[in-house]
Amino acid sequence: MLGEFDPHVPGAYRNVISYPLDAKQGRNLFVAVRSNNPVDIALSDSDGICIKFKDSILNDTIGPIVIEKKGTVALVLGIFRGDTAELSVKAWTE
């Protein structure tokens, strides 16, 4: 669950979660998000540059995103502090 109260983390809420994804050069990345409350999603490349951002997603698939170079892509999900969301995320390449 995204946005849970947790007094042990800075800000006291788990409203931002990130996942590292290994990606191969030349592949197309897709990310599907299903949520019961709007969430924001960002993807950044291995240099930390944002390659895609969408806000207020409930049920959407992002992609294809062409991977320029081999490395790690960060998938970052966020929600406003105090809000919660139960979500399902799938990521794949073709």
Q: What is the mean pLDDT of residues 5-20?
A: 90
Q: 15: which 2 tokens?
A: 């409203």
The dihedral built from the CA positions of residue 46, 25, 20 and 92, taken in this order, carries a sign that is positive
Residue 42: the pLDDT is 96
Structure tokens at 21: 């994804």
Count, residues in the chain: 94
What residue segments make up the domains of the chain, in order of their start?
4-93
- Determine the Cα–Cα distance for residues 39 and 89; give it in Å rounded to an integer: 11
The per-residue pLDDT for 38 is 95
Q: Return the amino acid letter for 51.
A: I
- Using alpha carbons, select from 19, 40, 36, 3 the residue that is nearest to residue 91: 19
Enter the CATH code of domain 4-93: 2.60.120
Res 73: pLDDT: 94
Per-residue pLDDT reduced to its tens digit, 37-89: 999 999 999 888 999 999 999 999 999 999 988 889 999 999 988 899 999 99
